[in-house]
Amino acid sequence: MSMRAASPTGKTRLNPVSEDSTFEDDDKNTMRLVEGVSHPSRAEDVQDLHRLQKSSTKPRQDDASQVASLSETLRSSARAVGPKVVRGEKSQQNIPFAKKLESQRSGFMRAMSDSGLKPTVVYHNLTPAELYEKALQHEPGTSITSEGALATLSGAKTGRSPRDKRVVREAESEGDIWWNKDKNGSPNFEMDERTFLLNRERAVDYLNMLDRLYVFDGYAGWDPEARIKIRVVCARAYHALFMYNMLIRPTDQELLNFGKPDFTILNAGAFPVNRYTSYMSSSTSVDVSLKAKEMVILGTQYAGEMKKGIFTVMHYLMPKRGILSLHSGCNVGKNDDVTLFFGLSGTGKTTLSTDPARPLIGDDEHCWGNSGVFNIEGGCYAKCINLKRQNEPEIWNAIKFGTVLENVVFDENTREVDFDNNAVTENTRASYPIHYIANARIPCVGPHPKNLILLCCDAFGVLPPVSKLTKEQAMYHFISGYTAKVAGTEQGITEPEATFSACFGGAFLLWHPMKYASMLAEKMDQHGTHAWLVNTGWTGGRYGVGSRFKLKHTRSIINAIHSGELNDAEYARTPIFDLRVPTSISEVPQTMLNPEAQWSDKQEFRSTLQHLAELYSSNFSKYASGGGFVSKDLAERIVSAGPHLMQNGSK
């Protein structure tokens, strides 16, 4: 008779069989059942399966003019045509190689370059996800952190190399440039055109030898009337992702119509310069040619060179258009009142400009034009050494997928970042798009500023926490760009050390500082803008004796500026610097407003104040002539707005 038979495993069989049936017959029946319900593969092989895995609602278009533009960018100085450009690695594995090249070759290509049969493979404006994949595949030292950020290393250089920056002396611009000579403080070391071409040739030849290149086309400047088109050519996916974050990302239509860039960065940073080339001071060189509209990077993989290279170029181009370029943070209040924050490292610029009650327009680079202010960048490049969630939640929360973490240390198992660890460098950084800041104002534009806040961290402890500046004082302190280093911040520093950086960004200026200061004064007059000097440093004595101003008190001062309270306040004047200090501020101890009152030794206070005044005067002597950008009378008034040194114990 028929019955359900037990299988060799002891389980009841699913199909009825006769008593004389064998287990082999039963297994065949089972296989037939499986074959009837399984889903057949829709791919012919594994490569075809990978192709089916990816779909796109916005397929990239291989526009011939765009490919031609990429080839022209990579053209060597000594060659009539650029290399054959292949837009990525096409999935044409079954097409013979010769046919494949023929199908990908642009019509403009008429001759073979010296690179022979090797096409230049270019990945153009990849998405962050694609750049993650390329970085993880091809760049050792790259990992994904527990929060999803891309952690990577910049190689031997973990900061900028300002002494290796060169500006090409060219007839069209040499009369505009503030050249370095006679210890005048200029960052602009000259190079001749031939040497630039030698370095460019070296960079382009290196890039064309590589198996893959990355190109990102984007914009600098949120004002459509003032923005410039930037092209970045680089050898690392990390660099492409960095500039994807830092530039303003084009829409699909803007990218299709991008055309020829206004300025190009050729980043061959993994390849050193020839040390025997003229004007070279090391194996690194960062060269800017305003005539060629190009920047060449050799010998450093630090991504910040690209960001600041664009800022340097904007510092030249924008003033020629009557637009003031500024190294500053910027936020805006509910009444559309804009504030610009100037300050060197350690002054609190990032902390104070990032205010939950005031949307952020940008954290570092801005322009002030005829319509108001606009951010130059599409992202932020934040220091993250000792980063804490409770202190800077906006930056902490921005570290996620798409963010580049540069030179950080992380746990090799959990991939959790140790932001306090400086094993690689003190200069650990995070690069992320500005929309990662929840309180960002998009588009990053605003009306004319109502307030300028010049921040300093006075470690000598003699400057007041806030003072209102006249136009001439604003120009003086803007050009001075003062702060102070303290013991422990750098090796060898045992007492406060004054630091001055013209216009709070001297390393990036191309014009004389007085050019920027005169434009600032003009715009202040036009729009009734107020200027303030805010000290976030020490009180009651120098560093090591006194104490630093509490952040809550500094925030109360900033709030009083924004509310208009200080416009109606009564003021007293300080000795030597002749600063106007409010006699009272809401939620700020009145005694704190008078720095001399906080010192127990009044004589030491006066001698320290005199010492700082001497440092200011010595530094400003480089700019006192006005550089030809202001009248002799105004130059004298600006100098008079600085400190007045005491003679024989009296002012």
3-state helix, strand, coil in the chain (%, to 5): 30, 20, 45
Is the dihedral angle over the CA atoms 234, 238, 242, 248 positive or is it negative?
positive
Q: How far is CA 471 from the centre of its chain?
A: 30
Catalytic residue among 84, 124, 134, 160: 160
Contact 537, 484 (CB under 8 A): yes
The 3-class secondary structure across 210-225, one letter per residue, is CCCEEEEEEEECCCCC
Residue type, 58: K
Contact 453, 349 (CB under 8 A): no
- Let me know if 200 is a catalytic residue: no
Catalytic residue among 157, 349, 471, 512: 349
Catalytic residue among 337, 363, 364, 458: 364
Distance between CA 534 and CA 552 in Å, rounded? 14
Distance between CA 324 and CA 531 in Å, rounded? 16
Catalytic residue among 84, 239, 429, 450: 429
Phi and psi based region of residue 531 (left: phi greater than 0; alpha: psi -120 to 50; beta: remaining): beta
- Let me know if 308 is a catalytic residue: yes
Contact 353, 366 (CB under 8 A): no
One DSSP character per residue, 71-128 reads: HHHT--TT-SS---EEES--S-TTS-HHHHHHHH--TT--S--TTTT--EEEEES--H
- Let me know if 160 is a catalytic residue: yes
Distance between CA 59 and CA 588 in Å, rounded? 59
Q: If you ran DSSP here, which 8-state letter would residue 291 be given?
A: T
Phi and psi angles of residue 244, each rounded to the nearest 5 degrees, phi first: -55, -40
- Let me know if 350 is a catalytic residue: yes
Residue 535's beta-bridge partner residues?
456
The 3-class secondary structure across 612-637, one letter per residue, is HHHHHHHHHCCCCCCCCCCCHHHHHH
Alpha helices (H) along 160-236: 193-209
Is the dihedral angle over the CA atoms 585, 588, 591, 595 positive or is it negative?
negative
Radius of gyration of the chain (CA): 31
Contact 348, 389 (CB under 8 A): no
Residue 483's beta-bridge partner residues?
499
- Let me know if 110 is a catalytic residue: no
- Let me know if 327 is a catalytic residue: yes
Beta strand 538-539 with 547-548: parallel, antiparallel or unpaired? antiparallel
Distance between CA 344 and CA 218 in Å, rounded? 28
The enclosing H or E element of 466 equals strand 466-469
Distance between CA 341 and CA 554 in Å, rounded? 13
Residue type, 410: F
Contact 537, 459 (CB under 8 A): yes
Beta strand 571-573 with 547-548: parallel, antiparallel or unpaired? unpaired
Question: Prior bond to 261 cis, omega within 30?
Answer: no
- Let me know if 157 is a catalytic residue: no
Distance between CA 176 and CA 572 in Å, rounded? 41
Active site residues: 160, 308, 327, 345, 349-350, 364, 429
